[in-house]
Amino acid sequence: MATEHEDARRPRWLTLGVFSIGATSFLSDAGHELVTSVLPAFITSVLGAGAAALGIIDGVADALTGLAKLAGGPLADDPRRRRTVAGAGYTTTAVATAAIGLTTAVWQVGVLRGIAWIARGFRSPARDSMLASLAGSGAYGRAYGVERAGDNLGAVVGPLLGGALVVWLGLRPAILLSVVPGLLAAVAIGVAARQARKLTTDAGERVVTRARLVEGYRRLRGTGLARALVPVALFEGGNLAATLLILRAYQLFLDGGMTESQATGLATVLYAAYNAAAALIAVPAGALIDRIGPRTVLALGAAAYVVAYLGFAFAPDVWPAVLVFFVLGGVGIGLGETAQSTLIAHALPDALRGSGFGMLGLVQAGGDLTATVVGGIVYATAGPLWAFAYAAAWMAASCFAALSGRRQDRLRLAER
């Protein structure tokens, strides 16, 4: 059985297993983002519901994802279980998401969306733990950069594919066809699982019992994970939902004299640029992490967000300026998410990484929910300037906390 020290010496880091997980994230995200992009039109024009129903469905689904990540973490501590959970999670997400195209009532959409997002939550710690087992410790950053690049690229391709399919075939067929990239993602994670199996032996695998599931998170005590999660929690506390960025751009363009359709279309294109920037920066961010450590790169991501948010707060109503701030936001999330995953991979041994990624998922979900709810309230009551200033303050605190903890990065890099 190969040790992490031996893995770190491998000259080739972009293995079939690492590539397969990047492909998995790309295909899966393309599939469910396809549906997400057309879901408002489906719920309003086909099922006859309103924006409130859409908000409730997505809000509940996001909350279920965070809870599922927490529950799925200890399961992913065991190599055999993590491979099974990942495969089942991607398959369930694909089928449940595509089945929305068969619904005739809003509650059915809510149930299927909830099932799909629960599966997304369960599979995430398993996938992230599997990726750490496939990459040498000296290449964790690049490996998670590939995964994040695939995810963000899927967020660009999915809505574009959805728009094309709606024009060509209609809403229901477009949603049903999302099963194709979703099931291809399940195939890709199966390839990664086979590669991970080759790097372990059955004797080295442990079966997680019910007692271990109960104790899973208690075993994280004394590992230093809480300290590692402080800058992450601060980062997520300022991570506003992209819908608020899109709303700000839309309003700026209206103030600049555009029509509603022009403002909507341009804001959507700029959001695609946000995701494209996140995809393009992820792999270079991973390479930088492997050289200078995840905390420094997390600080850089938070700093990029500070500049972006201040830009959104004081932005002129000209689209090139707004484009710059969208790109900076994309760079911030690309740097930040890659650094967060790598931070957990370095902080814990393989037998605890599933639980660690479960805690990371809970912190991310809780932070995102708080940031968006509070940011939205401040936006509506005090105006966009104060909302973005509020988020920028959280990101500045994250930058400071991340830089304050760089000593661990220096010690780890000195050992290599």
Render pLDDT for 16-35 as a digit per residue (tens, 0 to 9): 999 999 999 999 999 988 88
Q: What domain count does the chain have?
A: 2
Collapsing DSSP to helix, strand or coil, 182 comes out as: helix
pLDDT the model gives residue 164:
86
pLDDT confidence bin for 372, thresholds 50/70/90? confident
Percent of the chain whose pLDDT exceeds 70: 89
CB 144, CB 131: distance < 8 Å: yes
Distance separating alpha carbons of residues 342 and 352, to the nearest angstrom: 14
pLDDT the model gives residue 410:
58
Distance separating alpha carbons of residues 203 and 1, to the nearest angstrom: 10
pLDDT confidence bin for 210, thresholds 50/70/90? very low
Whether the pTM exceeds 0.85: the reply is no
Assess whether 209 and 237 both reside in one domain: no
Query: For residue 252, what are the CA distances in angstroms to 121, 352, 371?
Result: 35, 47, 22
Does a structural domain hold residue 17?
A: yes
Query: For residue 361, what are the CA distances in angstroms to 126, 179, 257, 314, 406?
Result: 12, 25, 41, 32, 22
Domain boundary among 197, 216, 235: 216
Does a structural domain hold residue 194?
A: yes
Assess whether 319 and 398 both reside in one domain: yes
Q: Which amino acid is at 346?
A: H
CB 29, CB 156: distance < 8 Å: no
Assess whether 382 and 401 both reside in one domain: yes
CB 127, CB 21: distance < 8 Å: yes
Does a structural domain hold residue 268?
A: yes
Does a structural domain hold residue 292?
A: yes
Assess whether 306 and 330 both reside in one domain: yes
In the 8-state DSSP scheme, what is residue 76? T
Assess whether 262 and 203 both reside in one domain: no
- Domain residues for the domain of 392 are 221-416
Assess whether 250 and 111 both reside in one domain: no
Domain boundary among 216, 238, 267: 216
Q: Which amino acid is at 62?
A: D
Assess whether 190 and 291 both reside in one domain: no
The pLDDT tens digits for 137-194 are 788 999 999 999 999 999 889 888 888 888 899 889 999 999 999 999 999 999 999 9
Collapsing DSSP to helix, strand or coil, 136 comes out as: coil
Assess whether 178 and 298 both reside in one domain: no
Distance separating alpha carbons of residues 196 and 192, to the nearest angstrom: 6
The pLDDT tens digits for 38-57 are 887 788 778 887 766 766 77
Does a structural domain hold residue 8?
A: no
Assess whether 401 and 267 both reside in one domain: yes
CATH of the domain at 251: 1.20.1250.20
Does a structural domain hold residue 328?
A: yes
Does a structural domain hold residue 262?
A: yes
Assess whether 159 and 273 both reside in one domain: no
b (16+ CB within 10 A) / e for 125-155: bbbbbbbbbbbbbbbbbbbbbbbbbbbbbbb
Distance separating alpha carbons of residues 189 and 83, to the nearest angstrom: 8
Assess whether 254 and 185 both reside in one domain: no
Q: Which residue has the higher pLDDT, 83 or 187?
A: 187
Domain boundary among 159, 193, 216: 216
Does a structural domain hold residue 209?
A: yes
Assess whether 283 and 141 both reside in one domain: no
Collapsing DSSP to helix, strand or coil, 114 comes out as: helix
pLDDT the model gives residue 413:
53
The pLDDT tens digits for 310-325 are 999 998 878 899 999 9
